[in-house]
Structure 1
Amino acid sequence: MPIVRDPLDPRISMWHFLAFCMRFFREKMGLSLTQCGEIMGLARSSVSNLESGRRRPQDDQMRKLDMAYGTGVLFQVLLWFARMAHDPDWGRQIGRYEEEAVSIKSYHGQVIPLALQTDDYTWAYVRASKFKDLDASMARRTAKKKAYWEKGDSLLTWTVLDEAVLARPVGGREAMRKQLEHLLELADLQYVSIRIVPFSSGEYMGVDGWLQILGLEDRDVGYSGAQSGGRLIESPGEVRDLSITFDRISVKAASEEASREIIKQYLERYT
């Protein structure tokens, strides 16, 4: 027998409310998952994933539902509000996107991104965090790093760092030496690009906080970081703006080869 799941609680978030409405209207219209999939141009399993909140719908899919159900722009507006509203489940959702990503572009002006960290570097920041169970936090981060690199060359990595990241001796001189050696090893991989924005570049847009752009098979999503949190970005227009910001930061960065030389200069300081 097919597994019948209870509908999501629409009070949890706008995404849950949208998924709840998708299932409510489909069942009200007497449509099966397969029939609804034919309307949206999706497989039965994809519709099930949308209604369970495991995947996020797109603009064209919501337009097709509005046309089929005669709901005007209801589903399109619900999608807009879901994208604009705070999502309490954003952490889990961005984790799913990272698993699906074929490319990840990131910029950071304060810390080396988790995927590029050595364990000693990671542990230094875990100890400096507000988490009570440090071992559990470290285990989660270590597992996330391992899963990231298990994808091999199927995941393209573009990283831009401020030179200040290299100057900060996180974990002490020995830990930082190993971290910079690790960056150089990663930079030699064909599917990894690491570039440094040198101090000599002067002012640039990166002072606002760190950002990440995840390239999925069918679209891009973004994450904009800030003190005590951040925001998952799924609106195509906002993701495009975030991509432009990343490009403008990248213009200030040194070339890959010149960035290696900058890293080597700091490595000599820690040796």
Structure 2
Amino acid sequence: MWAWIAHDLRLYRMRHKMTQEDLGRVLRCVKSTVSRLESGQLQLDEKQAAKLDSLWNTHGHFTRLLVYAHRAHNPNWMRQHAESESRAAEIKSFETCLVPGLLQTPEYTRELFRTTLGIDDVERHVEERMRRQDILDRADPPTLWFLLDESVIDRSTSDPEVMRKQLARLLEESHRPNISIRVRPRAAGLHAGLGGSFKIFFHELGDVAYSEAQFGGRLVVSASEVRGLVVQYERIGAHALPENQSRELIKRYLEASK
């Protein structure tokens, strides 16, 4: 669907004998942004779609395509997720049952791929996930906010040593100045995040989110949906432990595993 939108954007522009600079003035963006929209590197938003429909009198063509694109499963979800993650200046992540990928140890990732996801070529996927963690050590690392359900840190692995190392890694990373890790305790009861894990990526060119699902995921580009997930994140976090108390809870699980 996104490829269709990108194709039709260029098609309509050329039909109306407009340059990318001309269209950029309509959409209030630069030529390079139009080029990226037409190549599929960027995705059209609702306001831009409405402007195009009005400009070219399409009777809602781009707006309709956008609705279906948002609903569809994207087979390139993992690539788009990784790209959004690498470009983000700030990330907010909520996890219901697994340690966030950016904080996983190689051993934890390896067991995850082997036992739960049934992925072939496990080592290649482990290496790819570890490369994603390079953003933690770059000169301008993003600000990372992690909310974890307590089930994330009390879930056992087939080899207890794997989880011990993972819990130690969480404690270590929690002391970085750009990383916040907070745990929502089970005693806090049911909450809005039980429907699934999600992340919000904050970019200069617009915020996007990623919602997890079975056998894939969905990149959320609708501004209203992203705002809804921001509110959801705050609601979940309202009953999470502060950072210091979260560390203490992780320490207790670490000590109990020895």
TM over 0.5: yes
For the residues of structure 2 that align with 1:37 and 1:226, how far apart are their CA atoms?
35
Alignment of 1:1-271 (within 5 A): 14-128=1-115, 129-146=117-134, 148-151=135-138, 153-170=140-157, 172-271=159-258
Contact in 1 for aligned 2:110/2:123 (Cα 8 Å): no
Helix, strand or coil at the partner of 1:106 = strand
- Give the deviation of 1:229 after TM superposition: 2.8
Q: 1:85 deviation in Å?
A: 2.7
Distance in 2 separating the partners of 1:92 and 1:143: 13
Query: Whole-Å Cα distance in 1 between the matches of residues 140 and 240 of structure 2?
Result: 24
- What's the Cα RMSD here? 1.9
Partners of 2:5 and 2:235 lie apart in 1 by 35
Query: SS where residue 213 of structure 1 aligns?
Result: strand
The superposition leaves residues 132-186 of structure 1 with CA deviations (integer Å, 9 ceiling, x where unpaired) of 211222222222222x324455411111112222112335232222222211111
What amino acid is aligned across from residue 41 of structure 1 in structure 2?
A: R
CA distance in structure 1 between the partners assigned to 2:61 and 2:155 by the alignment: 51
Distance 2:214 2:55 in 1: 44
Distance in structure 2 (CA, Å) of the matches to 1:193 and 1:139:
25
Structure 1 unaligned residues grouped into runs of 5+: 1-13
Partner SS for 1:225? strand
Q: Deviations over 1:173-230 (max 9, x none)?
A: 3222222221111111111110011122122223222111111224322222233333
* SS of match in other structure, 1:87: coil
CA apart distance, 1:102 = 1.2
The Cα of 1:50 is off from its aligned counterpart by 0.6
What one-letter code is carried by the residue in structure 1 that aligns with 2:91? I
Relative to the length of structure 1, the TM-score reads: 0.87
Q: Which runs of 5+ in 2 are unaligned?
A: none
Tell me, yes or no, if the aligned pair for 2:150 and 2:183 is still in contact at 8 Å: yes
Q: Give the direction of change, closer, same or farther, for the CA distance of 1:89–1:227 in structure 2 (3 Å limit).
A: closer
Q: CA deviation at 1:241?
A: 2.0
- Mapped contact 2:82–2:132 kept (Cα < 8 A): no
TM-score calculated relative to the size of structure 2? 0.91
Render the CA deviation track for 1:221-259: whole Å, top value 9, x for unaligned: 222223333322222222222222211111121111110
Q: Distance in 2 between matches of 1:166 and 1:16?
A: 40
1:41 to partner: Cα distance = 1.9
Letter aligned with residue 56 of structure 1: Q
Percent identity, please: 37
Q: Which residue is 1:4 aligned to?
A: none
Write out per-residue CA displacement over residues 44-97 of structure 1, whole angstroms, 9 at most, x where no aligned residue. 221111111111122332333333323353323332332233322222222221
